[in-house]
Structure 1
Amino acid sequence: MSKDEVADALDEIGTLLELKGENAFRTNAYHNAARVVQQLPGDLKQLVADGKLGAVRGIGEALSLKITTLVTTGKLPYLEDLRATIPAGMVELLRLPGLGPKKVKALHDLLGIDSIEKLKAACESGEVAKQKGFGAKTQDKILEGIRFRDQVGHRVRIDYALPLGTALLEQIREFPGVIRSELCGSLRRRKETVADLDILVSSADAQPIMDRFVKLPEVLQVLGQGPTKSSVLAALHVHGTKVTMQADLRVVEDDQFPFALHYFTGSKEHNIRMRQRAIDRGLTLNEYALANGSRSVPCKTEEDIFAALGLPYIEPELREDTGEIEAGEVKKLPALVADRDIRGVFHNHTTYSDGMASLEEMALACKKLGWEYFGVADHSQSLTIARGLPPGAVRKQWAEIDRLNAQLSGVRIIKGSEVDILEDGSLDYSDELLAGFDYVVASVHSLFNMPEADMTARVCKALSHPAVTMLGHATGRLLLKREGYKINLDEVIKTAATFGKMIEINAQPSRLDLDWKYVKQARAMGVPIVINPDAHSPWELGLYTFGVQVARRGWLTKDDVFNTRGLEDVMKELVRRKSVK
């Protein structure tokens, strides 16, 4: 089993134990272990083989044995037995707003409810409202959650969530009485997908702000309205798609704002570490204050909170308890890469394959963004569905690039190709043709159902080819639509390091592949990262910003990203790499 599969199994155990009513200490041990496993650097199988798993923080002897069984056998009898004791529909009930494991267990014990269909029927008949701990209001909220389940969905991609959150925030900032306001939660940490929107405001008078918020034009339904918190269902059309999400607004006093901003930004794990750090210093930290008994430590900003606890400011993208506290203690937090650092991109398409704009149009769009170079990487010949280029079309494109480079000023077109990795790991063009490109992006576009070992060997063989410069969208995932193909990314990253290859962060919000946890691992192994928009139009070039966000979550600095280099440096490096056999 891969790290992700092991982590999923541990998370599932924690959830099933919650549904059985087990104590929080035991259930949290599994959820925490899942996070630890997912973020382990290196090869989990090797760690198990070396007998070093028990030394990892958060994994005790019992968990170590279970993880070892999962890694070595691919299954765990304990989990299989646990699954048999819990109706599958009970897990699905947890996805409804307001239903935690305790309530789901109560509904099952009291009414035999083990599916959304049964829950809906029980609510509509009024049976749920009769039960102790529920009542009519809870019943109505459950019905609302069921009605909007399909419309709202479980999670929303960041490129859809951010415009809706920003639209609400910009209007809220214009409300009379608003002092400060920010988006919080996973959206502020720039996670790839978002469950709901958290908005924080400071004001001396919350009620008028709440009254205005629930009447914003984006609001479809008011889910709850109180003196300091209101929840609504809001919608916005983003790039032709209607995005519907729950949005929660909280209003605090302005002197509470920094503490609330830190708390509601999260992550939960980061907050736990910060609260413990405060306790270790004789203080308490919560969403309202940093205090010592009755004495509060004045903090005007988040920076002040971190400083009071002996830390430099930690960027929101790093707040996942993956070493940011420890790095802050020794003043080794990275100076994260920013949008302004990008000087050009390499993985893009034109009308030669499945793009929507010409070479010149794409190059000029890059120039308009202030970039120095546009790398064209149209598809290779085997990908006929994307109008992949046969060798003759490649040479025709090269000739046009030469003509345009003689005419254009302020931007250079660099000759590249997105070459398919074939089933056996060979490349889709002859070595002779490959030698004519300035760089090559190697990608998988077919046979996604290959066994993990075969897919890993396929990609690693391609990375060993001298002509390959960088690996494109490493797992082939499509967020919220398609899981990536099974591949051992630990081995892929190791191979990239061995042969001096780069790996891209594909900035298409449907991909965001490589995932930030593996970006961090690649950085640790010295593998250069390239941020590419995989643009098929001038507008899509701007998607690079989502790749920058992934890079920041992966702790990357400007120096870790290849396309922060200027044109002259880039061309020298590409020439050097071509000369290495």
Structure 2
Amino acid sequence: MNKRDIIRTLNDISIYYELSGENFFKIRAYRMAARALEVSDAEITPATALVDLQNIKGIGSSIARQILELASSGKLELFEDLKSRIPPGLIEMLKIPKLGPKKIKHLYDSLGIESIAELKQACRENKLLKLENFGPKTQENILKGIQFISKYKGRFLYADVIDEANLIENRLREFKEINRCSIAGSLRRKKEIVKDIDIVASSKNPDAVIDYFTKMEGVTEIIAEGDTKSSVRLQSGVNADLRVVSDFQYPYALHHFTGSMEHNTAMRSLAKKHNLKMNEYGLFKDEETVYCKSEKDIFAIFGMDYIEPELRENTGEIEAALNKRLPDLVKEEDIRGIFHFHTTWSDGNMSLSQAAQELIKCGFSYCGVADHSKTAFYAGGIKDEFIDFYLEEIDGINRKNRDFKVFKGIESDILPDGSLDYDESTLAKFDFIIIAIHSNFNMTEKTMTERIIKGMQSRYATVLGHPTGRLLLSRDEYNVNITDIIDAAADLDVALEINASPFRLDLGWQYCKYAAEKGVKMFINPDAHSIETLHDYKYGINVARKGWLEKKDIVNCMELNEIIDYFSFRKNRK
């Protein structure tokens, strides 16, 4: 088991203990160990010495041994025992927003509720109102939460699925009976939320391929098995579908099963205008197959440029490809620096020095730290009296690294009245200001839109962070007119953030094209709180590509001297 999975397991143990009614100190011990491991630079392997783990503050000898057991065997008897004693429905109930382990245990002990269905029925019968700390509002919020998770049941974040999909794809490519193989479907199109893993492969021996696929490590159930198609369920709970075609049919099948449905419908209409028939089996002219070796050949038949999978949503890509006007999409190697990450100055798990060293190691030229502001007291936001110390540490990092620059930033809260939570003399000390909403979400669309635009009117506002406030599979966008926000950003010369946290991916790709057309610049920011999540910027690149964005549209694709000028101009513009 790798370090990331070990950290997740330690956190899970603390949750299971809380559901079991275990004592507070034992629960806290596992949470502290998980956090200590996350913050540490230690690489965890079966060969890691026990003493090295014990030397990490927050990890005791007992948990250290368990970590090594997880690293070597991937299992822990304690964890398996806990899972066997807790009804699985209680774990499902944790998905309900604002319903934590303590309340779930109380519901289980008091009413015998051990599933979401039973909880829903209990709410409808007002049984929760008889319990301590469960009033009408709590019951109403639980019902809303159940409705929300039902809406997204069977859906997964892209980031939670892509690694497993890549692993399956690589294993299939290694199989001798397979000629070509690729991830398809919404994963290939880089959708932020996906339902399953789709894979297309070509082979002369589909039976052998299907047999190999269904017997892969990680498969827990065979849902369907045919001559050329199989569906399985993986340990993660995700379904994976494999379609096997001949190598001749492969390009057509890959294009078809990549989708989207709307893109495919538009392509079939285009084919019909050329007196051609198009489907997953081929491209036909008077019953004769038009040979295409690759997807590029398929588009070339119609005189089109190749359409990248991310763009295949029928949002103008076909017309652009016909007219040779497709964007030169931004690439990972275009990113020159990383902005919006949190350190131990607020709620991050890494020091500023650790973050800078990691980004230097990655080859970046600059970065911009943006810890929480004072209003975010729940996240350890920086109070006025500590601002100068925060800035002095940044200066110290810059003195030590002549070839790498750390820009001084803060994530300043937009207060309910639209003002920012520091005065102008404090804001003037920073190179850039990320303004963002972190509270009072339940406003009318008009009030919320006016609030955000007023925040953007501050002379110090550089970029609007996570503009719609959504948390994927957890919280919808707040009521806001995003078109008005984009128009205001263009008028006020304020950039918009593509928050690359896989839980946000906000601004969504659906709005990026319009923003670029209005001349609004974008930042791709990881909103990182740990060394590991600094690399989440890659998910933001997916969003930017789906949103038709090019290198010129992204601020952190600028070279160092360009971005120094960019910040300087904006600080002195009003």
Same-fold status (TM-score > 0.5): yes
Q: 1:87 corresponds to which residue?
A: none
Aligned twin of 1:570:
563
**Cross-structure match for 1:13:** none
Task: State how far apart, in whole Å, the 1-side matches of 2:292 and 2:243 are.
Answer: 19
Amino acid at match of 2:289: S
Q: Which residue of 2 aligns with 1:201?
A: 201
Aligned to 2:433: 440
Letter in 2 for 1:570: I
Q: Deviations over 1:325-378 (max 9, x none)?
A: 111111110000011100012211110000111111101111111111110000
Aligned twin of 2:337:
344
- Which of 417, 420, 436 aligns to 1:427? It is 420
- Cα distance in structure 1, aligned partners of 2:173 and 2:377: 50
Point out where structure 2 has 5 or more consecutive residues left out of the alignment.
Answer: 1-115, 118-148
Structure 1 ranges of 4+ moved more than 6 A? none
The Cα of 1:306 is off from its aligned counterpart by 0.1
SS in 1 for 2:201: strand
Give the Cα separation in 2 of the matches to 1:528 and 1:365: 26
- Offset, 1:553: 0.5
Q: Is the 8 A contact 1:345 1:374 kept in 2?
A: yes
Aligned residue number for residue 474 of structure 1: 467
SS at match of 1:376: strand
Amino acid paired to 2:361: K
Q: Aligned ranges for residues 138-153 of structure 1 at < 5 Å?
A: 153=153
Say which of 484, 487, 507 aligns to 1:494.
487
Distance apart, 1:477 and its partner CA = 0.6
Cα offset for 1:410? 3.1
In the TM superposition, what is the alpha-carbon distance from 1:153 to its structure 2 partner? Answer: 3.5
Give the corresponding residue for 1:140.
Answer: none
Query: 2:37 maps to which residue?
Result: none
Report the equivalent of 1:190: 190
CA deviations on 1:162-219 (whole Å, 9 max, x unpaired) are 1121121111111121100000000000000001111110011100111111011110
Aligned to 1:52: none
- Could you tell me which residue of structure 2 aligns to residue 303 of structure 1? 296
Q: 2:237 aligns with which of 244, 267, 281?
A: 244
Distance 2:409 2:252 in 1: 49
1:288 Cα deviation from its structure 2 partner: 1.1
Q: State the shift of 1:475 in Å.
A: 1.1
Aligned to 1:280: 273
Structure 1: how far apart are the matches of 2:154 and 2:212? Answer: 27
* Separation (CA, whole Å) in 2 of partners of 1:169 and 1:330: 34
Residue equivalent to 1:464:
457
Q: Which aligned pairs between 1:45-56 and structure 2 lie closer than 5 A?
A: none
The AA in structure 2 aligned to 1:340 is E
Is 2:207 aligned against 1:214? no
Does residue 265 of the first structure (1) align with residue 258 of the second (2)?
Answer: yes
Indicate the SS of the match to 1:577: helix
Number of the residue aligned with 1:163: 163
Deviations 1:199-256 (A, max 9, x none): 1100111001111110111101000111100000012xxxxxxx31111100000011
CA distance in 2, matches of 1:392, 1:355: 20
Aligned residue for 1:504, secondary structure, equals strand
Q: CA deviation at 1:409?
A: 3.8
Partner of 1:357: 350
Separation in structure 1 between the aligned mates of residue 313 and residue 396 of structure 2, nearest angstrom = 49
Match of 1:512 among 480, 483, 505: 505
In the TM superposition, what whole-angstrom CA distance separates every residue of 1:374-416 from its partner, at most 9, and x where no partner exists? 1000000011000000122211011111111111243211000
User: Does residue 375 of structure 1 match 2:368?
Assistant: yes
Aligned counterparts, 1:48-197, within 5 A: 153-197=153-197
**RMSD value, Cα:** 1.4
Matched, 1:325 2:324: no
**2:249 aligned to 233, 256, 274, which one?**
256
Secondary structure at the counterpart of residue 199 of structure 1: strand
How far residue 161 of structure 1 moved from its aligned partner, in angstroms, is 1.3
CA offset digits 1:252-275 (Å, max 9, x no partner): 000110000000000011111111
Percentage of matched positions with identical amino acids: 45
Partner SS for 2:181: strand
CA distance in 2, matches of 1:474, 1:158: 20
CA distance in 2, matches of 1:400, 1:392: 14
**Greater Cα offset, 200-209 or 152-161:** 152-161
Question: Which residue matches 1:85?
Answer: none
Q: Any residues of structure 2 matched to 1:529-540 within 5 Å, and which? A: 529-540=522-533
Letter in 1 for 2:243: R
Q: For residue 540 of structure 1, report the CA deviation from its aligned partner.
A: 0.7
User: Equivalents in 1 of 2:153, 2:174: separation in Å?
Assistant: 30
Shift of 1:295: 1.9
Give the secondary-structure state (helix, strand or coil) at the position aligned to 2:350. coil
Give the corresponding residue for 1:65: none
* Counterpart residue type for residue 210 of structure 1: I
Partner of 2:108: none
Identify the residue that residue 411 of structure 1 maps to in structure 2: 404
SS of the equivalent of 1:397 reads: helix
- In structure 1, the gaps of 5 or more residues are 1-115, 118-148, 236-242
SS in structure 1 opposite 2:221?
strand
Q: Show the counterpart of 1:106.
A: none
Q: Distance in 1 between matches of 2:193 and 2:287?
A: 40
How many angstroms does 1:503 deviate by? 0.2
Letter in 1 for 2:403: G
8 Å contact kept, 1:362–1:374: no
SS in 1 for 2:275: coil
Q: 2:390 aligns with which of 387, 397, 415?
A: 397
Equivalent residue, structure 2, for 1:234: 234
| 8 A Cα contact 1:439 1:467, kept in partner | yes
Match of 1:385 in 2: 378
Residue 134 of structure 1 aligns with which residue? none
Question: In the alignment, is the contact (CA less than 8 A) between 1:346 and 1:377 conserved in 2?
Answer: yes
